[in-house]
Structure 1
Amino acid sequence: MKENKYDDKVFFEKYSQMSRSKEGLSCAGEWETLKKMLPDFTGKRILDLGCGYGWHSICAMENGASSVVGIDISQKMLEIAKEKTHFPEVEYICVAIEDMDFKEESFDIVLSSLAFHYIKDYKELIKKINKVLKPNGKLIFTVEHPVFTAYGTQDWYYDNNKEILHFPVDNYYYEGKRITKFLGEDIVKYHRTITTYLNTLLINNFAINQIIEPQPPEDMMGIPGMKDEMRRPMMLIISAIKC
């Protein structure tokens, strides 16, 4: 059974208190970079994988998409998404990303935000995405950076005074399951190398458009801890097109 931590009552309550949960995309450190990479949504049919609260689905509709299908394994997340979404052209489906089942060439654009590192079989997922995209369809996704996922703890090393020393990177080439702490809870994620992220796309008939390691925007530098995000990459954004 695929993990669904976001329907755990305690974890979901903690997650719902995060700034990006309450305020949306404007409070996501990667958003300023991501929005510049998004394709033209006008008249396009969108698939939002791991749609969560529906922020990206709503954004697509606000920018001219003809329809959006958002899928997520968490019923609690989708309940919030439905409350926030006022476009009848958006359909939310409760299903694991790996289990999506749509007709071939159903979508013009596939989006995903910080979800693929929860997926065990990335290669099979990319095959499915290729199947549901139309020719010249766009794929854009964000994941936790392999530098961030490699060691597993996803926390800094500190000195005796609790000051940050450095960020640990180890076992980089050993891909697979990691158990980390997020909001004080154990979370299962899957580490893979940059090579795997990119070559899997190339092998499956995608051309890569852009690869960006987003930095926090200047106007967020006053947020506690944000300056430390400049010390190592936390996220990776990849944009590709189906050939």
Structure 2
Amino acid sequence: MAAVKGADLYDDPVFLAGYRELRRTKRGLNDVLEIPAMAALLPPVRGLRVVDLGCGAGELAVRLAEGGAAQVVAVDSSKAMLAAARRHPRVRYVRSDLADLDLAPGTVELVVSSLALHYVEDFAGLVARIQDWLVRDGRFVFSVEHPVVTAPQREADGVIDNYADEGPRQRKWFVDGVVKYHRTIGSMVATLGRCGFRLETLDELQPTLDQVRQHPHLAIHRRRPPLLLFSAVASEEASALTLDSSDASDPREL
């Protein structure tokens, strides 16, 4: 099974058709669970300079701009997603792989990412760069798939085995070979700390019983949390930090 990563995934016509249908019918986790939970966690954005990592078609970026953000730099590696993105005078779209993205130090107050960072191989390296981009006390708010979802080595059985063994996992999601990167909760929290962030919120998102009654397809997500939501504050000067991302690749060494 050939691996499919990054822009190759969201520019694949079969995958893209399936993904767009999922969003159109609102049968995913975005509309009912992730979007309202992230909105509740975000700080007031009026006047803030914001970066949206893995912006997709720009829904979050435009909501932030409509909420008063001074500027939103919305970044994605997919040509197809950016071509379909909503336009707004205070949203600037940038096509870039997150592994290659670099911004000037201390130039943004808020970095957000919605369900994109589990596609990033070098999480520690990206978090270190985000800390550098943020002003002191700037915020980093992001959601990812929960490690109990990414952990199984064999997709078919869904068994949470080899939880401590971080790294790529291949799944079938509209197409075969979709690559996501499994990390433990402890590893992600430790990486944030090593990079100078103070963790404020860690939420394991699950639908409520009322939400399941209204949206029965969400029932499986009462069995285990599907998503993690983080909010962290850049509490240390970037110049005081040193991080070799290769040192942080194994959670047992953090």
TM range (shorter): 0.7 to 0.9
Query: Matches of residues 1-243 of structure 1 in structure 2 within 5 Å?
Result: 3-4=6-7, 5-19=9-23, 27-81=31-85, 84-85=86-87, 87-154=88-155, 157=157, 167-217=158-208, 218-219=210-211, 221-243=213-235
| More deviation, 221-230/16-25 | 16-25
1:207 Cα shift?
A: 0.3
CA contact (8 A) 1:216 1:226 kept: yes
User: Structure 1's 170 and 211: CA in aligned 2 closer, same or farther, altered over 3 A?
Assistant: same
Letter in 2 for 1:128: R
Distance 1:15 1:42 in 2: 31
User: Could you tell me which residue of structure 1 aligns to residue 238 of structure 2?
Assistant: none
Distance 1:151 1:10 in 2: 25
User: Structure 1's 90 and 173: CA in aligned 2 closer, same or farther, altered over 3 A?
Assistant: same
Q: Number of residues paired by the alignment? A: 230
User: Structure 1's 23 and 193: CA in aligned 2 closer, same or farther, altered over 3 A?
Assistant: closer
CA contact (8 A) 1:20 1:28 kept: no
CA contact (8 A) 2:6 2:78 kept: no
| More deviation, 218-227/64-73 | 218-227
CA contact (8 A) 1:29 1:220 kept: no
Distance 1:154 1:2 in 2: 17
1:2 Cα shift?
A: 5.8
Distance 2:47 2:27 in 1: 27
1:9 Cα shift?
A: 1.3
1:24 Cα shift?
A: 10
1:101 Cα shift?
A: 1.6
CA contact (8 A) 1:148 1:154 kept: no
- Offset from partner CA, 1:133-154 (integer Å, 9 cap, x none): 1111000000000111011455
SS at match of 1:35: helix
SS at match of 2:205: coil
User: Structure 1's 100 and 129: CA in aligned 2 closer, same or farther, altered over 3 A?
Assistant: same
- Offset from partner CA, 1:96-116 (integer Å, 9 cap, x none): 011112111111000001111
SS at match of 2:189: helix
Gaps of 5+ in 1: 158-166
Structure 1 stretches of 4+ with a deviation exceeding 6 A read 21-26
Identity %: 37
1:27 Cα shift?
A: 2.2
CA contact (8 A) 1:42 1:63 kept: yes
Q: TM-score scaled by structure 2?
A: 0.84
CA contact (8 A) 2:206 2:224 kept: no
1:22 Cα shift?
A: 7.0
